[in-house]
Amino acid sequence: MDNLFNRLIDLAAACPDKKAVVFKGEYLTYRELCRRIAGMAERLGKEGVGQGDRVCFSAVSKPEMVAAYMAVQACGAVAVFLDKNGTPENMAAICEEAGAKILLTDKPMKEYAEKCRVQSLRELYRQAGDGGRTASRIWMQNCRKGRPLLRKRIWQNCCLRRERRENQKELC
């Protein structure tokens, strides 16, 4: 199956020390990116984020944003991007209206805690780099059918999308 996750895994295996994400002198290698994604996905899973959930996030385009987006995808959730320059009030309203499980941001949002669960994106990213499970343990964790767990989820998502496209073609 040729998709973004599988390509990332293949690149991490083929050239783990090559730069994957670069921003103003800050960078992550493929190995580091996979480790961050796996750690963030694990922590999001512990927060209750799962298949089909919405996760709002607001971030500057830098390595932590890329890792967060990929981690949301790895959980099977849907990323809802919010304007990084948006006001906390607007972000909370969008998060509430979208029915998001969690909001990943580093804006001060204490006064809106009752509207949405807020998690510090920077803290989540930092924790993901401080140990946790390696990407290989997350991606290669076998499920009942022997397929890697995340690849199985990705496969299921792809099959659902293919069925939807076929159904839409039949309607036309």
Q: Rounded distance, CA 96 to CA 91, Å?
A: 9
**8 A C-beta contact, residue 100 and residue 54:** yes
Output the pLDDT for position 1: 54
Comparison of pLDDT for 2 and 64, the residue scoring more: 64
Output the pLDDT for position 151: 47
**8 A C-beta contact, residue 21 and residue 66:** yes
Reduced to 3 states, what is the DSSP secondary structure of residue 148? strand
DSSP 20: E
Cβ count near 18 (within 10 Å): 11
Position 56 pLDDT exceeds 50: yes
Instruction: Please report, for residues 4, 35, 55, 80, the alpha-carbon distance to residue 152 in angstroms, rounded to integers and kept in the order given.
Output: 14, 19, 21, 23
Supply the pTM of this predicted model: 0.70
Residues in the chain: 172
pLDDT digits (tens, 9 = 90+) for 80-118: 999 888 888 889 999 999 999 999 988 888 888 777 888
DSSP 172: -
Position 152 pLDDT exceeds 80: no
Question: In the chain, which ranges are E strands?
Answer: 19-23, 26-29, 54-57, 78-81, 102-105, 118-120
Q: Rounded distance, CA 115 to CA 86, Å?
A: 16
Cβ count near 127 (within 10 Å): 16
